Structure 1
Amino acid sequence: MADATETATPESGAAAAKPLSEAARRALAEAAERTRQRAASETRRPPEIQGRRGPEPTRYGDWERKGILSDF
């Protein structure tokens, strides 16, 4: 019996895929830059004092607090 690693094809890996086009490389670079900017902006945000814990309900539609649902 052969192991599963012996029967694996080289095409199964991401590195074996066809080379990226210039537009794809540019898109990946832009996405990486946006990720770096988002991470930097999150670290610069001051902590909220006496605020609600967890996500902001107005942004995420979660108006439930301790099992009680609030609808405005």
Structure 2
Amino acid sequence: MSDAQTPEPDEPRKPLSEAAKRALAEAEERRRQAEADAEREKELGGPKGPEPTRFGDWEKKGITYDF
């Protein structure tokens, strides 16, 4: 990638549809959520990925475990 700025087109952009606006709002919310998750302290020795209790993932490498 380069540091050069992309010139703005001479023609105006066409208006976004309502579905496109909703998709952009959802993407922005996901970015904010990802930033908030990144700021949280990492758990040492905890499960990788989402919390298993929320998703019923009680098995790891064939061993069933409980907290």
Per the shorter chain, which TM-score range? 0.5 to 0.7
Which structure shows the higher helix fraction?
Answer: 1
Q: TM-score normalized by structure 1? A: 0.51
Higher relative contact order at CA 8 Å, sep ≥6: structure 1 or structure 2? Answer: 2
Query: How many residues end up aligned between the 2 structures?
Result: 52
The yes-or-no answer on 1:47 pairing with 2:48 is no
Q: Cα RMSD (Å) of the superposition?
A: 2.5
Q: TM-score normalized by structure 2? A: 0.53
Runs of 4+ in 1 over 6 A off after TM superposition: none
Segments of 5+ residues of structure 1 without an aligned counterpart are: 1-18
Between the two proteins, what is the percent identity of the paired residues? 48
Bigger Cα Rg: 1
* Map of 2:62 onto structure 1: 67
Look up the equivalent residue of 1:38 and give its one-letter code. Answer: Q
- Which secondary structure state, in structure 1, belongs to the residue aligned with residue 46 of structure 2? coil
Segments of 5+ residues of structure 2 without an aligned counterpart are: 1-14
